[in-house]
């Protein structure tokens, strides 16, 4: 039986504006079009899974409880906008700047693939039928390392090394979805 397919989304810079170590809802600014883009992806049977590096926890800028409180609020806003997020994976570690037990070189921290691999096992995902969207090369690299076949970047002014010039970069998630996925479902 073929597995389910996932849209793996980075959080900061893809769902919300990356203002650096966001952990309060007052700082959490959804990027325009995110809900519509997610509704289109759900209509195409993609499970939406968020995978986010959160070294701000390890660095001591905020706690896991702070992260969870913001995450619960974020999921509520998605639900109000008719979007079901299947799961959120986060990595609190940092190899140099983590404090105490948070200082470790973790395969869960992107560019490591482990968040995606755990999701694949838990939700029986077909990674080759899945895709990842991020705003940093480490998101792309995590996707490649996990065997995700399509990896896209969001943002303007991303400087790609010449050997990675083939990566498709879009201004935002909605623009990506409109371009890459079936245009007949736009308006969902």
> Least separation, in Å, of the C-beta of 138 and Mg ion?
8
176 neighbors 133 (Cβ within 8 angstroms): yes
Point out which residues bind Mg ion (CB under 5 A). Answer: 10, 12-13, 135
Angle at 65 between CA 131 and CA 76, to 5 degrees: 55
Residue number with CB closer to Mg ion (98 or 134): 134
Show which residues are catalytic: 10, 12
Sign of CA dihedral 119, 51, 9, 25: positive
CA dist 185 and 61 (Å) reads: 41
Rounded to a whole number of angstroms, the minimum distance from the CB of residue 14 to Mg ion is 6
Do 77 and 67 meet the contact criterion of CB atoms below 8 Å apart? Answer: no
CB closer to Mg ion, 10 vs 172: 10
CB of 156 to Mg ion, least distance (A): 14
Q: Which is nearer to Mg ion, 117 or 173 (CB)?
A: 173
């Amino acid at each position: 039986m073929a597995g389910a397919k996932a849209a793996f989304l980075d959080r900061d810079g893809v769902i919300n504006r990356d203002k650096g170590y966001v952990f309060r809802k007052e700082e959490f600014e959804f990027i325009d079009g995110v809900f519509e883009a997610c509704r289109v992806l759900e209509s195409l049977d993609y499970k939406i899974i968020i995978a986010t590096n959160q070294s701000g926890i390890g660095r001591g800028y905020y706690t896991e409880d702070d992260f969870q409180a913001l995450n619960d609020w974020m999921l509520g806003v998605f639900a109000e906008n008719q979007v079901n997020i299947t799961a959120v994976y986060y990595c609190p570690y940092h190899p140099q700047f983590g404090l105490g037990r948070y200082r470790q070189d973790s395969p869960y921290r992107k560019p490591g693939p482990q968040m995606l691999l755990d999701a694949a096992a838990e939700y029986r995902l077909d990674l080759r039928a899945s895709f990842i969207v991020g705003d940093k090369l480490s998101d792309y690299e995590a996707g490649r390392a996990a065997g995700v076949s399509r990896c896209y970047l969001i943002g303007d002014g991303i400087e790609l090394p010449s050997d990675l010039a083939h990566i498709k970069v879009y201004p935002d998630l909605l623009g990506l979805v409109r371009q890459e996925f079936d245009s007949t479902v736009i308006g969902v």
